[in-house]
Amino acid sequence: MMNPFLPFSSNKRRGRRRSVDYSLDAEVPSSSSSRRRQAWWYRPLVLLVGFAAVWIGGTFFVAQAREHWLYHLDELSLKRIPVVRDGVLTDDEIRRIAGVSLGRNILTVDLFQVRQRLLRHPRLAEARVRLDFPDQLNLEIRERIPIARALLPPVAGVEAFYLLDEEGHVILPFQPGRAPVDIIESEASLPLLTGVHVESFNAGSAVDDERVRAALRLLNWFDGSELAGQTDLVSLDVGQPGSLVALTSQGAQITFGLDDFERQLRDWRSVQERANTLNKAIASLDLSVRQNAPLRWQGSNAPPAKISTPKTSKPKRKPVHQHV
């Protein structure tokens, strides 16, 4: 007989509870949307790897084809490198400076680098480089023309000379045997600038010293004047503040100011004409004084005379070098 006070229970209910417990312990499978979120980077990665492989392979193929076929075509090898020049450097020297030789494939010539190599040479002012396919490289060169020498203070008892063109660019002189003898001798006889500062000189660059630049302007004006046919400027002292002291081939000492060289050379020519009339020679003349320039004749111990010079026609300017 069943006890009415015992709680109700049955085997069937207990089995049902166990089945519910089992269903709660089971794992829930992942959905397809979560799989798509986890693999979003897969396709771009595959495309990137494929593109890199194609690019690397194509680059390698092109490089090999260029090296083993295109660059070795005899039809594209340099057979002529004509040089147009206006100075003393030889054609072979200019080709050596350019770094290009016959037989080189024309497709390997970098025109920018060739021009930069040429312009780094202190004597070259301008360079033009042009390719004429299939086998010619043209070089057109304009050289700097020195008009003066510069004597630097001696270092360890050794004197150093530099050359200067009309724009003040510093040029190294030729070593014996590197140029014709007459060229070396003519450059060694250029007017000498003394009293310059060592720190203002750097081969290949322009001098920034105002007195040196003024001396070069004076030489340009002098070369275009009528005085150039009567005497030469042997040296110019640029070490005096506010003036230039020139020594001529006739032994005269001429003092110039730093500007208005047209007026000063005109006054000098007037004094020289008077010296020719009196059969005298100038010992010293200070042209930096605008009115009544002090003058001393050679062989005279008298104090400098005061010379007033009339105005005359303007001297001719030195011709400008034409560009190639």
Domain boundaries of the chain, sorted by first residue: 74-143, 146-307
pLDDT bracket for residue 70 (50, 70, 90): low
Average pLDDT rounded to a whole number, residues 263-286? 95
Mean pLDDT of 275-303: 88
Mean predicted confidence (pLDDT) in 214-226 = 95
Q: Where are the alpha helices (DSSP H) in 171-249?
A: 181-188, 210-223
Q: Which fold has domain 74-143?
A: Ubiquitin-like (UB roll) (3.10.20)
The pLDDT, as a whole number, for residue 143 is 95
Please say if the pLDDT value at position 23 is more than 80.
no
pLDDT of 134 > 80? The answer is yes
CB neighbours of residue 283 within 10 Å: 16
* Averaged confidence pLDDT in the chain: 81
Mean pLDDT of the region 292-299: 91
User: What's residue 6's pLDDT?
Assistant: 46
DSSP 206: B
pLDDT recorded at residue 169 = 93
Q: In the structure, what pLDDT confidence band is assigned to residue 61 with cuts at 50, 70 and 90?
A: low
Helix axes 91-98, 111-119, angle to 10 degrees: 120
Distance CA 319, CA 235 (A): 22
Q: What is the pLDDT of residue 32?
A: 54
Instruction: Report the chain's C-alpha Rg in angstroms.
Output: 43
**CA gap 55, 51 in Å, rounded:** 6
Q: Is pLDDT at 210 greater than 50 in this prediction? A: yes
Q: Does 74-143 match 146-307 in CATH topology?
A: no
Residues 225-229 have a mean pLDDT of: 92
160 confidence band (pLDDT: 50, 70, 90): confident
Question: Tell me: the pLDDT tens digits for 72-98?
Answer: 677 888 999 999 998 899 999 999 999
Across 48-76, average pLDDT: 70
Residues with Cβ within 8 Å of residue 148, at least 6 apart in sequence:
163, 164, 190, 191, 192, 193, 215, 216, 219, 236
CATH of domain 146-307: 3.40.50
pLDDT at 98: 96
